[in-house]
Structures are given as structure tokens and as C-alpha cells.
Chain A
Amino acid sequence: MKNIKSIILLILIVVISTSMQAQIDRSIQPKPGPAPEFKIGEYQTFTLKNGLKVIVVENHKVPRISYQLTVDVDPILEKDAIGFVAMTGDLMRSGTSNKSKIEIDEAVDFIGASFSTYQNGMYGLTLTKHKEEFLGLFADVLLNPSFPTEEIEKNKKQTISGLISSKTNPEFIAKRVGQKLRNGNHPYGEIGTEETIENITREHLVNYYESYYKPNTSYLVIVGDIKLKQAKKDAEKYFGTWEKGEVVKHEYQFPNKTVGTRVALIHKENAVQSYIYISYPVNLKVGDKDALPAALANDVLGSGVFSARLISNLREDKGYTYGAYSDLTKDPLVGDFSAYAQVSTDVTDDAVNQFIIEMNRMKNELVDDNTLDLFKTVRTGSVARSLEKPQTIARFAVNTMKYSLPADYYQKYFEAIEAISNTEIQSVSKKYIDPDQAIIVIVGDKEKIAESIKKYSVSGKVELYDMYGNPVKEDVKKSIPEGVTAESVIEKYISAIGGKEHLEKIQDVTMEATTSMQGMEIKQKTYKKAPNKYAMIMSMNGNVMQQQAFNGERGIMKGFGGEKEILGDDLENLKVDATLNAELKFAELGVKLTLESVETIEGKDTYKVKVVNPTGELTYNFYDVESGLLILSKEIIVAPQGEFTQMQSFTDYKEVEGVLYPYTITISGVQNLVLKVDSISINTDLSDDLF
């Protein structure tokens, strides 16, 4: 009996488990259950007597409350002090008439709150239990900022340092230049530079605060663990005394539309990638009839999901980039379309091409129903998910007020998305997605990409800009005249600086020069003695910082890191560089010369001569066609991270004992340095001990 039972049990188990196995057909994608309803949370609003509009979203899940204040005013032109509006915002919490910055920092950090102030607004998050302390600080900062002079100076210094450190950040540069070029004379086109930041004064900040920070143009959004009644009491208590006032309105002309694609290039020497940023202004506001279809059209083109066309083409299909996206930004004054990616240098041309193809496809083809449905679901899904955050509800509330939207605009959002047809998508694409009115800004290596991207420009020209969007003069390629060779260029140079005879009389040269590095004065003394002895001493305040000596065979370098012998290729290069009047002996030294082209450097035609040392070290020298003088030298430095260029330009030639020497040497590459020659003396019978 017992046995039989257990056998039966066993059989049953086997049956059950096999039937369970059989239940799974993995090839069938599971069907969703009935769709849940995503409810848009409630919000409440009230207005204080001084005109401050307050929006409250209650959410008691987590014991914290956030406060966000937005000053809703027109932008202003900042002209020669661009950056002061942002600085006013940044410096709001840097001191009040009651508290120093340090006291504010201490108090905020003590309760673990976060509190930041920025252009036309401020935001803070606090635990419910620290609400009173927090509001005290928040209101003090809003109503009594003191803008201490030393904080302004400090912030200027930091902003400038920040700008300088961003000079090698391609994304930062591309987006700012794009912003400037597309917005033209509109305030949105103003971007700060070291110079405009330097021009900011305390008056700018105080005037801006006093003219524009008023309750009647501001919104306060309170989200979190608080009841409406309490929020009203708090608002009255902390912000009720804020005095209302007249605020000036400004109107600006919409930026001119670009007719035909423009290509703008910011040169980044030897960049391994190009940053492509395609943009133009659009006239699109929250609540416009076109707003939702246009947003959906942009989703299809360039949202972050892998099904979007830019990312699936440029990343998933071609592997050109880690990510390619587009944005369509709505704005009450000037919105913008932008599409961007950071791509490998060698595919820059085709990457631009693919961007244009995808943008045109949006205009020229109907999006098929499956794709459209997919992106509708993506958008509604993403909005639905965002409803978990009470901040979303607050944003809806602000938009409803600010753009006078119908009260049920967001309640009907999902329906409105559902109703969009593919013909509508095409018609808004024609209006808002258009490469023909775009400015294609590229930060990358000019030498490698300029030729290939010309064709995208309607003028056939690539416009060159610096990192601040200022035009850079274009080089025009000219042909080398008949009969001119590298050797003849060098000969002309030799006769221009004084001739072989004068040069050969020189036995030694002593040069003293001065430069400044980060505000400190540095003296440089260089000695050269025939045939190839060389020494250099760099000192600051009489203290030697760096020293180099070469006695014709052995080279030594001394510096912070102690003494080091110069060896290998460095030594071989030094043998050439140390040679007195090396120009006369290029052949003897094994230096190879090639005349490459005629290039315009700072308005002057020059012969570009490629100079290769026996070690393979590469330099390009540029000799003025007219005067014969060397005006620029570009050295290519090969490092494990890639190739980099070091430039020296020579100006201010003066005669010493029949020979011309440049008295100003400007060194540039990743950092700028100007070397001013104080004196040059010749044949002073230098002692061999120096070397």
C-alpha cells in the first residue's frame, strides 16, 4: 500500500512538472494585462497680495518638501558685460544683510538641505522636520541679498577659470557657438567670454536684482509633505513682505532665418572626434497647436530610445558614435531645433550626411503607422512614468498658468497624442525639421575634415570660428610659383636676416627674455656657442626653475624633479637645435626640407616648409613670401594620447651686429605665452663652463 501511494505521488509530480514545463512557450511574447490608469496628481494654487503666485502639490510619501522660485521676466541684452544676469542668480545665496555666505552655507548644510540659486530662480529641498529653518534661509536670500564685492570677484575668477578649462571641451564649445550663431542679435545669442565677465560690476547685479526680482512676476512651487493650509500660512509669513513693483517688458525681433545650410568649423588641433551640432531657431511655444505633433516628430527622429532614427542609424547601424540625438526646445520667445553627436574624426563627413538624410526623411516621407504607434507609446509611457514624481505635476501647473493653457490640457494629453496622424507629423516636420535653414557647427580637426564638409554649405564655404563664435580669417590656398624650392626659401631667409657673411662671423649669442606665466614674471637666458653648444636658464624672482645645458655631446636638464640626462631622440634633436646658425647647415645635419604650399598666416602669404630632423621630429616653418623672414613655426608633438601642435610665432625683428633677430616670440598650443626679448649680445666670448 505504502509503496503504491508513493509511486502515484511520484507519477503525479512528474506529470505536474512536465506540464509546467510545457506551459512555457518562450517564443511567444507575453501579452500585457489590462492597462492601468495613470492619474495626474492634484495641485492647488493661490496668489499672495503682493502678486506672488504659489502652486502646491501635496505628496506625503516621503518626509521632504521642495521649494522652487522662478522669476518670470523677459531676457535683457547684457552687451559688454555678458554673464551678469546669471551671476546675479548665482550670487543670491552668497550673503544677505543678515548673514554671510559662510553662515548661510553652514546653516544649509547643517540641516542637510540642498539649496541652489541660479539665473532668475532658486531651488531647495529639505526634510519636513527642518522646514522652518530652511524657509527662514530661503526667504532671507530672496529678499535681502547683499552681493558682497569679494564674492563677486571670487565668482568672476571662478567663472573665467571655468571658461578656460572648457576650451578643450568640444560639446561646450559647439553648443555655445551654435547658440550664438543661430540667435544673432537676440539676447539668447549672447555668450560670455573672459572679457565680458571681467567687465561685470556690483552695480550690474544690484540693478538687475532691484529691477526684476519682484513677487508679481514670480512663481513659487511647493512640492511634498505639506498641507495646503500650512503652505498658505508659510507663504504669507515668509514671502508676504516681499514688495511688488513695476517690471519693464522687453521685445525683440525673432532671429533671422538662415537661407541655405551654413557650415561653421571651430578648429581643434588633432581632435580624435568631431562634435557635430546642427541647429536653428524655431518659433514654438508650450500649448501651440503644433507643439505635441512637433514633439512627437522629434521623438521619431532623435529621442534617446534605440528605435529613434538618428541613434539607430548612426550608432546601431554604423557604429559612428556612442549617441546621436535631436531636441526640439519650446520657448515663449525663441525655441530651437538641435541635433548632435560626437563622432570619430574619419567619419565626420558621412555622419553629417546621415543627419541630413534623416532630417529630410522626416520631411519627405510619411512615418509608417507602426513606427508612429511605437513613438506614441514611448511618449505616453514616459509621461505616465514621470507622473510618479510630484515635480511633474508642479511643472504642469506652472505651464498651465504661464501659457494660459486650458485647465484640462494635461488631462487630455494622452488623448491628444493618440489622435496625431502621420500626415500631421509630416506637415510639422516640414515646418520644424529642416536642414536647409540649419547651421552645422563642428568642433574638430580642420586639416582632416574641412575639405570634406564644404559641400554641405550652400555657399560652398566653411566658416571658421574661435571658441567664442568670433570669425577666424580663412586660409586661401595659393600655388607655389615656378622655380621656388625649399632651398631657395631658406636662402632667401638667410639673406633676409643679414646674409651668410654676417652669420658666419658669429661665435656666440646670449639672449635675455622675459615672460609671464599665471601672473608671475619669468626670466629666460639662452646661450649658444659655435659649433653646437647650448644652455638655457629659466628663473622666477631670482630662483632657478629650469635649466638645460648641452656641451655638444652630453645634455642635462635640471628642474623641480632633480637632474636628468637628456638621452635618445631628445638628445639627437638637441644636437640639431643647438647648432649655431643651423639654417646654414641643414644638409650637413641631415635635416630634410620640403616646400609644401603657400599659406596665408595673419594676412601674409608664406611658404610652408616641412622640416624633418634625422630622428623624424616634424616641424613646419612658415617664411614670409615678401620679406623672406620666418614668421611661424609649428612643431608636431607625438604623445601616447595623440598628436599635438606647439606653435611659435616670430615678430618684431631687430638688427644686432648685422643680423635680424625676432624680439617677440609668441608660443601657443594648449597654453599661451609671450616671450619678450630684453637684449641680445653677440661674441662676448662665452666660457665653455656654461655648457
Chain B
Amino acid sequence: MKIRKILLTLLLLASTSVIFAQANKIEFEEYDLDNGLHVILHQDNSFPLVVVTITYHVGSKNEKPERTGFAHFFEHLMFEGSANIPRGEYSKIVDKAGGTLNANTTWDRTFFYEVLSSNQLELGLWLESERMLQLNVDSIGVATQKKVVTEEIKEREDNQPYMSFQREIVKRAFVEHPYQWTVLGKADHIMAATESDYKTFYNDFYVPNNAVITIVGDIDFKEAKKLISKYYADIPASEKEIYRPKQIEPIKHKEVRDTIYDNIQLPAVFQAYHTPKSGTEDYYAVDMLAKLLSGGESSRFYKVLVDEKQLAMQAMSFPFPYEDAGLAFAFALPNMGVELEDLEAAMDLEIERVQNELISDTELQKLKNQYEVNHVNANASLESRAYNLAINYTFHKDANLINTEINKYLEVTKEDIMRVAKEYFRKDNRVVLYYLPKSQQ
């Protein structure tokens, strides 16, 4: 009996992975320039577009504690101009070429991209090379971006109900690691930044040996390689070792619990469990556990908390995949008249269920089917392929995870899910925040 069941599972796994190998394999080429810039090329000539991305391996965790938010602020400065591109022209050049561009910053990396028609590849490479080699920021630009970023912090965190949760959770979850502050950081840190801060940050992190470039779309490999060499080969590498925080967050054995009074109408409960960092074996099981709890309307949180017990208006669980650590968030917004204690108890009960009972085969198959769909969707557009290749290389030095990561999910067993639930979803391994309206203070 047992053997047959295992065989069946193996067959199921095999058949699904085979489908991927055939239908969705993303072929790519990769190499390093002498200055350390890592290049990844993927060709898809079915539509005349090209996506150029550069990922710098720097995020808020590389900041000094008195300059939080600096990495994100610096991302804004990268649009200011270069030795050959006057202030305000950078985006305009892309606009004029009929393309689009943007950037974003996380705890661990800063990502820039341009999407252009394929005859404009050289333009994209020139633009990115200019700001890698010779960014130029004047005092007007700095002053303006300081104001813009301050408004961004207000708009995203301060003037939005509940949106301070990230800030409030991480400052309690991390005592050693720089993940204790958020990507947006503190407005007064940004206002206090000086010219030497920009110069040091730029010279330390915005160097080819700390970057990955991906070119995806309607390209010719030979031509693309020639252009990359033309614009990037002579950009000097940094001699210094690149600063990566070494702090290790100690393992937690005591629950942290607090109440935040915010400008809100309805209370809410947030939990955050310490979990393994992205890419580790247990990470995939933890991710799957989060999906079990809140992926879709038949997920356990939704079904029990929202539908059956009607305790919550909304309930979800989502992992934060940091490079050096992990946090799995659980969040619920109660329905009118529901006490937070009751809601939290119901959330805990659902986690205890996973700790004490193996999930069913059907539920496991459901999760795997959902990952299969995610995998297909994640690689559907040129932009997402360019992003996934870049990120997989930046953090795991394995761009091919774009094709193989799905297998890590498909290999997760019911026992793995139960094990990670027990190991990481402990009450003494979490931060719990109650959000209450100001008026109850």
C-alpha cells in the first residue's frame, strides 16, 4: 500500500515537472565581464520589445543606523542625471524613445529597468551605463528629492491606516540585524543626509562587481554582447570589499507583544514569526504553509475566520523573503463587534491545527497546483522573466532557479509543512501587535 502511494506521488511529481521542462523552459546565457558585472541574456523574438534591467545588490540592510531610508532615497537620485545627461532628462530620453522605466528598492537590493522597442537596446544600455559610471546629482536635485521622499513616507506609511505595521513589527522582531528599520526609513535621516553620504554610498555599492544586468526580449546575442562590452567593459570595479551586514539575529524564545494606537476605525491584529531566510530548504515549506493559510478563498484562514466563524473581514498570511532572515506575517481585520483576543485565538487555533494534524493529500495537491499556476504566470511576460533571472542570480547565484525553483515547491511533503509549523510558528518565536483606534488609548 505504502509503496504504491509513494510511487503515485513520484509519478505525479514527474509528470508535472516534465510539463514544465517542455513548455516553459526559459533559455538564457550568462557570463561575467572582467570588472565583475554579471550579464544574463534571454531571447524571445516573438514581439519587438526589449527589457533592460540592472540590479544592485544593496538595500536598506546596507544602511548606517543613522541614515535609514538612504538606499531608497538613493534610488530616487539615480534618476537625476549623469555627466552626459542633464538634470531631469534621464526619464525624458526614455519617454522620447517611446519606452518606459522605473525602479524599486527592498531591504536587500535596488532594481532599475527600462522597457523599449527592440531597436532602442543601445539607448537603454547607454542610459544605465551612464548612471553606473558617472552619476551627477546637483544640490537642487537633492533638495527636491528629499521633499519627495518625505511625502512618499507620509503617503505610504503615516497617512494610511495600519501601514505603520511594518515599521512597528520589524523594530520589535530584529534587535541585531539592520532589518529592524524599514526600506522607507526615517524622514529626518533623509533630511540630514550630506554630500559625502551620497558619494560614499555611490562608490561603495553602485559598482559593476555589485550588479547584475539582464537583457530580455527581441535581441540578437552577438549584437547584445558587443554593446554590453562597449558600454560596460571600461567601468572600473570597486577595489573595496562590499559591505554586507554580518549581524545574526539570535533565535527567539520569548513572545514580544504590544499595542499600537493608530488613526484607525477598526482594530487589527498582526503577527510575525521568525522563519528561515529565502532560498533555504525550509523556506519553501514555510511559503507553502502561508499559502495553505491564506491562498484563495478555500484557504484555512479565509474559510474559517472569514466564512465560517465570521470573525474577520480579512485574514491573510504572507512571508517576507529577506536575504538574511525571514518573517512570516499573519494579519487579520475583525468584523464589527469582534474582540481581538477572540480573533487571535482563532488564528492560533488554525496554526495549531497544522502543527498537530498532517494536511490532507488533496490539500497538498491543491497547493502544488497553485504553485504550478504561479510558475506559469510568473514567467509569462518579458518583464517578469527579466526580473526573475536578475533576482535569482543576485541572491542565490543561480539564475536557472527561474526554471527549477518550482521543483523545490513540488518536493515539499505534508510532513515538511507540519515540521516547519512546529519549528517556526511557535508563540515564543513571534511578535504580536494589536492595532487599536487612538480613542481607546
B84 within 8 A of partner (CB)? yes
CB distance from B90 to the nearest CB of A (A): 8
Please determine whether A167 and B265 come into contact, CB atoms closer than 8 angstroms.
yes
**Interface residue from B151, B158, B266, B376 paired with A165 (Cβ < 8 Å):** B266
The 3 A-B pairs with the shortest beta carbon distances in the complex, nearest first, are: A381-B98, A319-B147, A36-B48
User: Which residues of B sit under 8 angstroms from A518, Cβ to Cβ?
Assistant: 336-339
B303 within 8 A of partner (CB)? yes
A542 within 8 A of partner (CB)? no
Please determine whether A110 and B365 come into contact, CB atoms closer than 8 angstroms.
yes
Tell me, in angstroms, the Cα distance from A44 to B130 when the chains sit together.
46
B65 within 8 A of partner (CB)? no
Given known contacts A32-B123, A641-B263, A102 and B307 CB-to-CB distance under 8 angstroms: yes
B266, B377, B441 interface centre (most CB from chain A within 10 Å):
B266
Closest to B88 in A: A316
For this complex, 20 residue pairs linking A to B, each with C-beta atoms less than 8 Å apart, are A26-B133, A29-B126, A32-B119, A63-B23, A105-B296, A105-B297, A109-B297, A109-B298, A110-B365, A112-B372, A165-B265, A166-B265, A168-B263, A373-B96, A388-B49, A637-B441, A642-B158, A669-B438, A669-B439, A670-B263
B-side interface residues, number (CB < 8 Å): 96
Tell me, in angstroms, the Cα distance from A62 to B25 when the chains sit together.
11
Please determine whether A307 and B95 come into contact, CB atoms closer than 8 angstroms.
yes
User: Which residues of A sit under 8 angstroms from B145, Cβ to Cβ?
Assistant: 319
Please determine whether B218 and A36 come into contact, CB atoms closer than 8 angstroms.
yes
Tell me, in angstroms, the Cα distance from A162 to B91 when the chains sit together.
38
User: Which residues of B sit under 8 angstroms from A644, Cβ to Cβ?
Assistant: 263, 438
Closest to A116 in B: B297
A137 within 8 A of partner (CB)? no
Please determine whether B123 and A164 come into contact, CB atoms closer than 8 angstroms.
no
Please determine whether B296 and A109 come into contact, CB atoms closer than 8 angstroms.
yes
A24 within 8 A of partner (CB)? yes
A113 within 8 A of partner (CB)? yes
Closest to B129 in A: A26
**Interface residue from A127, A154, A318, A380 paired with B373 (Cβ < 8 Å):** A127
Given known contacts A158-B313, A384-B98, A109 and B299 CB-to-CB distance under 8 angstroms: yes
Tell me, in angstroms, the Cα distance from A319 to B154 when the chains sit together.
13
CB distance from A301 to the nearest CB of B (A): 15
User: Which residues of B sit under 8 angstroms from A271, Cβ to Cβ?
Assistant: 159
Please determine whether A105 and B335 come into contact, CB atoms closer than 8 angstroms.
no
Tell me, in angstroms, the Cα distance from A378 to B117 when the chains sit together.
12
Given known contacts A164-B336, A381-B117, A639 and B261 CB-to-CB distance under 8 angstroms: yes
The 0/1 profile, CB within 8 Å of A marked 1, for residues 182-207 of chain B is 00000000000000000000000000
Please determine whether A106 and B263 come into contact, CB atoms closer than 8 angstroms.
no
Please determine whether B47 and A387 come into contact, CB atoms closer than 8 angstroms.
yes
Please determine whether B296 and A344 come into contact, CB atoms closer than 8 angstroms.
no
B139 within 8 A of partner (CB)? no
A293 within 8 A of partner (CB)? no
Binding site for B on A (CB under 8 A): 20-21, 23-24, 26-27, 29-38, 61-64, 101-102, 105-106, 108-113, 125, 127, 130, 154, 157-158, 160-162, 164-170, 271-273, 305-307, 312, 315-322, 342-344, 373-375, 377-378, 380-382, 384-385, 387-389, 518-520, 637, 639, 641-642, 644, 646, 667-671, 673
Q: Is chain A's binding surface mostly helix, strand, loop or mixed?
A: mixed
CB distance from A637 to the nearest CB of B (A): 7
CB distance from B255 to the nearest CB of A (A): 14
Please determine whether B148 and A109 come into contact, CB atoms closer than 8 angstroms.
no
User: Which residues of B sit under 8 angstroms from A64, Cβ to Cβ?
Assistant: 373, 376-377, 380
Given known contacts A23-B230, A639-B261, A109 and B151 CB-to-CB distance under 8 angstroms: no
Closest to A106 in B: B298
Please determine whether A110 and B369 come into contact, CB atoms closer than 8 angstroms.
yes
CB distance from A223 to the nearest CB of B (A): 12
User: Which residues of B sit under 8 angstroms from A158, Cβ to Cβ?
Assistant: 306, 313, 335
User: Which residues of B sit under 8 angstroms from A61, Cβ to Cβ?
Assistant: 46, 380
Please determine whether B265 and A671 come into contact, CB atoms closer than 8 angstroms.
yes
User: Which residues of A sit under 8 angstroms from B437, Cβ to Cβ?
Assistant: 670-671
Tell me, in angstroms, the Cα distance from A691 to B77 when the chains sit together.
61
B231 within 8 A of partner (CB)? yes
**Interface residue from B91, B161, B218, B372 paired with A127 (Cβ < 8 Å):** B372
Given known contacts A36-B118, A109-B366, A342-B155, A382 and B263 CB-to-CB distance under 8 angstroms: no
The 0/1 profile, CB within 8 Å of A marked 1, for residues 272-299 of chain B is 0000000000000000000000011111
Please determine whether B83 and A26 come into contact, CB atoms closer than 8 angstroms.
yes
Tell me, in angstroms, the Cα distance from A641 to B84 when the chains sit together.
43
Given known contacts A36-B118, A161-B335, A374-B95, A170 and B123 CB-to-CB distance under 8 angstroms: no
User: Which residues of A sit under 8 angstroms from B441, Cβ to Cβ?
Assistant: 637, 639
User: Which residues of B sit under 8 angstroms from A127, Cβ to Cβ?
Assistant: 372-373, 376
B63 within 8 A of partner (CB)? no
Please determine whether B154 and A344 come into contact, CB atoms closer than 8 angstroms.
yes
Tell me, in angstroms, the Cα distance from A162 to B49 when the chains sit together.
41
B247 within 8 A of partner (CB)? no
User: Which residues of B sit under 8 angstroms from A646, Cβ to Cβ?
Assistant: 439
**Interface residue from A102, A125, A673 paired with B298 (Cβ < 8 Å):** A102
B92 within 8 A of partner (CB)? yes
User: Which residues of A sit under 8 angstroms from B146, Cβ to Cβ?
Assistant: 319
CB distance from A419 to the nearest CB of B (A): 17
Please determine whether B336 and A161 come into contact, CB atoms closer than 8 angstroms.
yes
The 0/1 profile, CB within 8 Å of A marked 1, for residues 344-370 of chain B is 000000000000000000100110011
